[in-house]
Amino acid sequence: MWWIPVILIGSVVLLSTKNKEEKIGNMANCNKLFSDYDNNLNIPKKKKDKLKESKEVLRERIRKHFKDNHPEYKPEFYIQGSYKMGTTILTKDDDCDLDDGVYFRREADVTATTLQKWVKDALDGATSSSVEHRSKCLRVIYKGDYHIDFPVYIFPKDDNDPSLAVKNNGFEESDPKEVVEWYKVEKAKNIQLNRIVKHLKGWGDHKRNKMPSGLAMTILAANNIQPNDRDDIALKNTLIEIQETLDNDFACIVPATPGDDLFENYDATRKNNFLSNLDDFIKDSKQALDNEPNQLKASRLWRKHLGIHFPFGEDEDTDAKEAALKRISENVLKGAAYSQSSGTISTEPTRAKNKPHTNYGG
């Protein structure tokens, strides 16, 4: 494909000699806004560097504590979850997280809760905030910045299936590495998947009120993605597909050991809250794409669901502007364009005629 540069009132537009005809609908194109939104969800380099540094400091605390107090338990580490998959987002509170699995390659001769407590003992005092002993991890909080979760696993040398320590509930089969490997395969099928996952997670973060977890959003996106050249259209169609899927079966099965359903314990209130938010999002996405030509007004509809990281658009009909530029490009290519004294290009034969382009590349 050859591209021709045409200068239009201070802008450079690339014109293709093989333009694909597409129907221009009565909708605002917000694809660029979604690209900016995706960038706004990324963790800034400075914060990411601090997060990595903190992870190493905490790992060393755990190693030293076990060497000094429980030498028969030698910790190994594996970053898991969204950080490993490249779908971590910056929340509306300017927070982010990292999941760092702590593995012990041996049989457990203590309870799951005790093993978790030993890891907690190693982490206590690392920050001014108390370490949270959660059901399935220990959480270290760096206030106003980020937090790091440490799930704890027993991984016997003669067993390929790790077991996760669950507070007051023993060990349960769980292999986060399988999730990461599954996601690599899914992402390879569609490079748009990462962005759609982040958009769904951004929606969940904005709405909160026990919206589905990041893992659930990731699974829903991978299982229902509807690819499109534009992210705004892809997201709308993916939301519709998710709704149809959940209407048939309200479930979200983890594609890894132990294959549990993340929606299994949703009560009626939590389920209805999610489905209601989903329905509202679909309605506004349809309005933005089908009936709203003004980009600023369309962006406000998207922003209702995606939050402060989603940028405002221009107060203009972007599709009409694109159509006008397309008409100019066609006239330039067929030699029917004239330059006006104002610098604009039109088909009015009142000024110098533009010569047809013959240089289509070298």
Gap between the Cα atoms of 220 and 154, Å rounded: 29
Q: How many residues can be counted in the chain?
A: 362
Q: Quick check: 54 and 79 in contact, CB under 8 A?
A: no
Phi and psi, residue 206, nearest 5°: -65, -45
For the chain, report the end-to-end CA distance as a whole number of angstroms.
Answer: 12
Whether 260 is a known active-site residue: answer no
SS3 labels along 216-243: HHHHHHHHHCCCCCCHHHHHHHHHHHHH
Whether 149 is a known active-site residue: answer yes
CB neighbour burial string for 17-36, b if at least 16 within 10 angstroms, e if fewer: eeeeeeeeeebbbbebbbee
Q: Nearest CA to 109 among 101, 118, 100?
A: 118
Omega before residue 258 within 30° of 0, cis: yes
Gap between the Cα atoms of 196 and 262, Å rounded: 19
Q: Quick check: 90 and 65 in contact, CB under 8 A?
A: no
Whether 68 is a known active-site residue: answer no
Catalytic residue among 38, 95, 100, 149: 149
Catalytic residue among 38, 97, 232, 284: 97
Catalytic residue among 38, 99, 100, 175: 99
Q: Is 250 helix (H, G, I), strand (E, B) or coil?
A: coil
Question: For residue 200, what are its two tokens?
Answer: 């769904």
Q: Quick check: 19 and 331 in contact, CB under 8 A?
A: no
The Cα angle at residue 175 between residues 169 and 178, in degrees rounded to 5: 155
The Cα angle at residue 359 between residues 350 and 361, in degrees rounded to 5: 145
Residues near 237 by Cβ (< 8 Å), separated by ≥ 6? 226, 228
Catalytic residue list: 97, 99, 149
